[in-house]
Amino acid sequence: MTSAQAAEDVVVDRPQKSATSLAWWRRLIVAGRLFVGLRLHDFRAARAFMLLKFPGSSLPLRMLRFGRWVMRESLVTIPDAVRGVVWTQELSRQPVWLADGNPLANHPWQTDPLAVLPDEVDTLVIGAGFTGASLAYHWSKHAPQERTLAVVEMDDPACGASGRNAGTVVMGRYAAMVHSTLTKHWAKTRPKLSESQRDQLARQFATVYARAAYKNADLVEETIRREGFDCDYVRSGWVQLRTASEQSWLDRSVEMAAETGCTDWSSLPPHEVAARCGAATDYRAGFSRAAATFHPARWVWCLLQVALRSRNVRLFTRTKVLGVEDCGDFYAVRTSRGVIRARHVVNATESYTALLHRHLHNFIAPVQSQAAFGIGGPRELRSGVSVSSNVAFFERREKGLLFGSDETPLPDRQAGRNRPSRFISAFVLGEMRRYFPAFDLRVTHEWSGTAGFTPDQYPVVGLLDGNRQYVIGGMCGSGTGVSFNSGRCIVNRILGREADDDYPPEYFAPSRLLDPQRHAWPKLQTQESVAC
């Protein structure tokens, strides 16, 4: 039997209504608890969601439609979805990835209480998440012993966004999504370009982005296999469920993927969706075939542990950077434990960037997302494959369920905050019930974090000041699709190594946003020459 025939033979159990209807007063109790627990962030999230779900309408009509949607969710969808859900009294705000402890906590003082910061290093990396760990790893592989690198982290490794996510090794954003965000941004910021010019330039940016993301995903897998990392890596793709109204967008996105050669992105018919992830749907879904799942914190720890075997790489946790001053031949990096002089500085600070560099407000802005984990969940949900809808994600992790949502901008000062919304968690469970039968779930962890978003939702990789201070950030929730390869490229630039560079300045340099008039924009190509 062929795999296609096997997929055709999959029997899909459609989500069914419960045999007994939930009493009206129980629905009111559920809704009442949700409304009593609302906080300021819930209203921020509601505004962002309203703009996403009801675009193109006048504000009064949009608010009316959103109000009706909220009432239906609160009184019907969510009460039905949470019937078998228990929120434990000892519910932890710690991400499930960090539940078993951090092997690099309080490094190096945990084992060496007399350790001190170095007076001087060649390169100083600020941040020990996906990006900082990647920079340290590549430095340990390529830098001569006399060239030293130090990583400083205000908390412990992977305690920021890198340890508070869904654990999906994404390919980044598919071409049509990149194209959409860029053309929307340029319509306001580059009005002198014609519509066709913006379209062509956005295709070029999308192609370059996707090419770098494909390389990144392959490098991640190669590194895990070669080093023998124990980080639960499985490469089975990412299913993105789509509704009836989203089918035309799916068609356009797959068409653009084919036109640009970015063919990781495709679509699946309903029977293949069921075969791959267990979701029951009547509509085609998007599919990123090269995406993977892993334990994100272990990936960071593994990279750092390999890097620290090299004598020219050091890590200092619980050391907050307070300021960076350009002193000509070196940077004076002021920290909570003293000053370090560095010839090069790399900001791997993502959503914290504006807190360190106050003049970079709105350059990389914090956007909150959240997740939860519980024991149980739908038996039909397959393990090892990421699943999402347009507004939520859910994955099988061993005997548990990982689920989450949200994409709400926050003030700079709230970067990194951990205050999840119970309403949003309950909403995600309601979203799941569209695709899976009723299930029991005992929720043990619920947390939030912040990703870094640029105004055009395209990463920045390159020189921040035109001198020797770099930044890697603005990955817009796609950190696993950018960080490892970009870390490799920045290390190569600092060391002056001749190697392929997937982040050309005309596309990724921060000047694209900080000084667009002087930025060296890429030349427009013919459409036939734009391909991955």
C-alpha R_g of the chain = 23
**Within 13 Å and on the Cβ side, how many CA atoms surround 469?**
19
Q: To which H or E segment does residue 344 belong? A: strand 338-347
In the prediction, which pLDDT does 52 show?
A: 79
**Contact present, 421 and 392 (Cβ < 8 Å):** no
CA distances from 142 to 95, 468, 498 (A): 33, 19, 11
Distance of CA 512 to the CA centre of its chain: 22
Residue 374 contacts residue 434 (beta carbons within 8 Å): no
Q: pLDDT of 434-481, one tens digit each?
A: 999 999 999 999 999 999 999 999 999 999 999 999 999 999 999 999
Q: What string of DSSP letters covers 111-122? A: T-TT----SEEE
Structural domains of the chain, ranges and CATH numbers in brackets: 22-87 (no CATH), 116-232+295-360+454-532 (3.50.50.60)
CA pair distance 34, 365, nearest whole angstrom: 29
pTM: 0.93
- Say whether 218 sits in a helix, a strand or coil: helix
pLDDT value of residue 526? 74
Q: What angle do CA 200, 205, 211 make, to 5 degrees?
A: 125
In terms of DSSP H, where are the helices of 412-482? 422-432
Q: What is the pLDDT of residue 7?
A: 34
Query: How confident is the model at residue 5, as a pLDDT?
Result: 34
The segments of the chain whose pLDDT lies below 70 read: 1-20, 527-532
Task: Please choose, from the candidates 30, 117, 11, 4, the residue with its C-alpha nearest in 3D space to the C-alpha of residue 82.
Answer: 30
pLDDT of residue 527: 59
The tokens for 315 are 């890590």
Kindly write down the DSSP assignment for every residue of 280-304, as one continuous string.
Answer: --SS-EEEETT-EE--HHHHHHHHH
| Closest alpha carbon to 388 in 368, 407, 408, 374 | 407
DSSP character string of 478-521: -GGGTHHHHHHHHHHHHHT-----SS-HHHH-THHHH-TTTS-P
Amino acid 268: pLDDT: 97
Distance CA 37, CA 429 (A): 17
Cα–Cα distance measured from residue 210 to residue 262, given in angstroms and rounded to the nearest whole number: 7
Angstrom CA distances, 274 to 44, 271, 355, 392, 441, stand at 35, 5, 45, 18, 21
The CA-to-CA distance between both ends of the chain, in Å, stands at: 34
Residue 175: per-residue pLDDT: 92
**CB-CB contact of 202 with 178 (8 Å):** yes
Q: What does the pLDDT look like over 115-135, one tens digit per residue?
A: 999 999 999 999 999 999 999
Alpha helices in 237-332 (DSSP H): 247-260, 270-277, 296-307
Residue 225, pLDDT score: 98
Contact 31, 75 (CB under 8 A): yes
- According to the model, what pLDDT value does residue 87 have? 95
Convert 348-414 into a string of H (helix), E (strand) and C (coil).
Answer: CCHHHHHHHCHHHCCCCEEEEEEEEEEEECCCCCCECCEEECCCEEEEEECCEEEEEEEEEECCHHH
What tokens appear for 241 in the block? 């469920």
Phi, psi of 300 (to 5 degrees): -65, -50
Residue-level pLDDT at 56: 77
Cα separation of 4 and 10, whole Å?
Answer: 10
